[in-house]
Chain A
Amino acid sequence: MLRYTLKRILTGILALFVLACVTFLLVRLMPGSPFQTGSVSEQVVEAVEREYGLDRPLGEQFLTYMGNLLRGDLGISYEDPGVKVTEIIGRTWGITASLGVPALIVAILAGTAFGIARAVSKNRCVREVISAVGMILAGIPGFAAAILLLLVFSVQLKWFPASGLLSPAHYVLPVISLAIYPAAVIMRLTGNALETEMEKDYVLFDRAKGLGRKQIIFTHALKNAWRPVLNYIGPASAYLLTGSFVVESIFTIPGIGREFVNSITNRDYTLIMGLTIFMGAVVIAVNLITDLLGAWLDPAVRRSYQEEAG
């Protein structure tokens, strides 16, 4: 188990390094400069670029950046002189997490609940409606859901605020917008797995033993049916991070996604790099944790590791 973990961590670091290299090149391939705006004279742009070392050969800039990166120095933002990239990450990631974590919880709760209902409901009509709605929700792009919720519940009904994160009420619409898609996926995963489980021999055996339906579902079948959901949490976290780009822009939330979109528009090279590396690290870490958790929960896998170790 330890060897496996170490291997995974090393691969993760390698992946991050490749990500950093590719991003560095792609960012510099974009036309434009952090200091070019519509109304700055070329003379001034050149002088400022010289000052920041952007006139030096790309290879040299790359080595400098990587050297600093190894020391954990992500540099300063070009757009906000004096503000460290790490400072911006520190300020924004908590905000994104404060949306992403509740969204994930909502998605898991709602997805599992509807998944169970779909799998075990005796009413065919209920099953079909849940399936159909789940399919529709999985097909609605995140931005469309966000805009629809904003228009209906904020602009028209005025139940919830339209922008910012000043009070608990501000969280409702962005969290729902983010949760819709993963909830639909989790519903499908739980529903399908549970249906399969319900036909397995041990369920028949449980029934024969005279266990109640509820007991069978919650104590036995669900535990097994839930494994695909656990595997999905990694990709879901990645979805929530990328989804935050759109949702944070629509609801004007000062999180990491909005910062990322703005940094690209502004050609804020150091900030784009810093945010990409940070988000890459988060996605890799979440995947690693859920994989390890899955492996640990699966008796067969766990046993194989134990044998290996012993």
Chain B
Amino acid sequence: MKRKVTDWIIDGSGENEMNRHSGKRGTGHPAGRRAAALLLAGIFLCAAALTGCSGSGSGENAGTDAGEKAITVAINSETGTMDPAGSIALTYLAYSVSALDELLTFDENGEIEYRAAESYEVNEDSTEWTFHLREDALWSDGTPVTSGDFLNTITRALDPASGSGYANYLFPIENAEAIYNGEAEMDTLGVEAPNDYTLVFHLEEPCVYFLDLLRLPVYTPSCEKYADSPDSGWDTDPETSLANGPFCLTEYVPDQYFVLEKNENYWDKDRISLDRITYRFFDDTQSMANAYQAGEVDVATSLPSTVMELYEGQDDLLVTDLIATRYIYFNLNVEPLDDVRVREAINLAIDREELCQIVGSDTEPTYNLIAKYMKDKETGEYFVDGAEQPFEENVVRAQEILTEAGYPDGEGFPTLTYSYPTLEMDSDTAQVIQSQLKENLNIDIELNAQELQSSYSSRYAGDFELIRMNWTADFADPYTYLSMLLSNSTYNCSGINDPEYDVLVEQSSSESDPAKRAELMHQAEQLAVGEQFYIIPLYAMKSVNLVNPEITGIRQIPASGALEYRYADIG
């Protein structure tokens, strides 16, 4: 219901926007207008008298008042802790990009940008990685950042009580999985800290994309002195919540906002221009858009696609590529979805161009599992462009294949149920697919809209026939996508069990020659998407953001597509 409400707002404000300069605002029926105006005025007077105030609110805007450069960023409602070893969600993601330095990261050209580390070495078979930490790196209280701080996050995250959802990304490390499952002692963990400025990782198996994992929270440091447990509250107390990045926490008000100020002890502080970033929590994207329009925030991200039309041609609008794929899982344990011909026919019969036109201008058709906008660090091109499109849509061919599978013109084909979360975008998608499959293959799809949490639940339990899936890259390597379909993957809930695919993907993670590795990954994707049709890829997405045009230097994090304000400036 909430979704419906917000839809209404945006339509309303769109209409008003057009009238903004025409002097009078049309409010609808002229007859009711005077009475409505009278009434509103009356109520308004009462309230103004009561609260003893009037005039405009005190929005915090981008400004250089008193020589201070400050911006306010709208972020989605407070969820999760700011402890990298804890149960993190949006709050941490917003906090960490400004406040925490990982060992190293990749810039938009795929070049290494050293942060907490200043160099690294790796042995020949990619199983032993040694990082040399920057000796001039300090926490925001002036104490040095040491290898023990990195180890602190890792060991705490390997205790299931921490609630870390990223613990499984530590499993490439020797014994990490066994420790997590309580089958081995912590002192057998394959991470060493021979001195304060050296950190060595011993891996179970070769892992050529290990550097890409380093941006994940579990590989980010947390100060040994204070960061003891996700429950102790150290993470939201400015006294103990130390940062090793350009900004540090100075205020945290639950449910409302938190404030980061420039970290004067940051080793690279000369590159930082902003003095303060305030993050304000919002429950839904429409409230964010309203707050932006009312001038209360300088940046609002991931807004509804209708904002694109509203701000078309204006400097405020910033549309960025999301490294994400929306797709549908077939349940291979359900007849007739175990038949590859049926899966192929459905895939070929969907018109993704039409789908995206209807769903919104923030979507683009995709025929791949790997995110359309994920870049190949070697070539600088989009990874999926390095191979042929896995398959081509073709309604006639789809009908032929369905006939071969024993369902000429959809005859005898059982009604399938498509489960999806009740988000507007997914509801629209479901209806388009339903009508396309009816029209093109004469098969019936029953729609089953579920609340988001229920949808996750059905998926984990394998309790579905067709289900909507969305995957946003955790790290900038196609493995984040390919690993989902491995037979032993915990995300594999659709019953895929393909030894040939498993071998290709495993080979790719130990292949150190980038060209050969890319080839293996393309082969794996072709097998899964273009030959076995294990999924129905639908579209890639764009993120619609509003940014105060006075702000410069906002960058996009290549791995996830999220915005980063480290090097932002005003004017």
Contacts and interface: CB of A to CB of B under 8 A. Distances in A.
A175 B51 contact: yes
Given A150-B290, A161-B59, A164-B280, A110 B43 contact: yes
Interface in B48-93: 48, 50-59, 77, 79-81, 86-87, 89
Contacts of B48: 172
Contacts of A165: 256
Interface in A121-176: 129, 132-133, 137, 143-144, 147, 150-156, 158-172, 175-176
B549 interface: no
B284 A171 contact: no
Contact of B452 (A147, A163, A265): A265
B295 to A, nearest CB: 7
Given A147-B8, A161-B294, A164-B280, A91 B457 contact: no
B491 A262 contact: no
Contacts of A129: 35
A121 to B, nearest CB: 15
Interface class of chain A by DSSP: helix
Contacts of A73: none
A160 B284 contact: no
Nearest to B293: A155
A250 B254 CA distance: 18
B232 interface: yes
Contacts of B9: 147, 150-151
Of the four ranges (under 10, 10 to 19, 20 to 34, 35 or more), the interface on chain A belongs to: 35 or more
Contacts of B59: 161
A50 interface: yes
B225 interface: no
A263 B491 CA distance: 25
Contacts of A30: 453-454
Interface string B402-437: 000000000000000000000000000000000000
Interface in B142-182: 160-161, 163-165, 167-168, 180-181
A180 B43 contact: yes
Given A162-B296, A163-B280, A47 B180 contact: yes
Interface in B213-270: 229-233, 254-257
Contact of A147 (B12, B25, B284): B12
B234 to A, nearest CB: 9
Nearest to A110: B46
Interface in B334-381: none
B39 interface: yes
Contacts of A79: 79-80, 87
Contacts of A197: none
A36 interface: yes
Contact of B39 (A37, A137, A170, A267): A137
Contacts of A80: 80-81, 254
B510 interface: no
A35 B284 CA distance: 21
A105 to B, nearest CB: 7
6 contacts: A32-B453, A82-B81, A176-B43, A252-B287, A254-B255, A259-B255
Interface of A: 30-33, 35-45, 47-48, 50-51, 76, 79-83, 88, 91-92, 102, 105-106, 109-110, 129, 132-133, 137, 143-144, 147, 150-156, 158-172, 175-176, 179-180, 183, 249-252, 254, 258-259, 261-262, 265-267
Given A31-B451, A154-B57, 12 more contacts: A30-B453, A35-B87, A35-B165, A79-B79, A133-B39, A155-B16, A161-B57, A171-B51, A172-B53, A183-B43, A252-B283, A261-B283
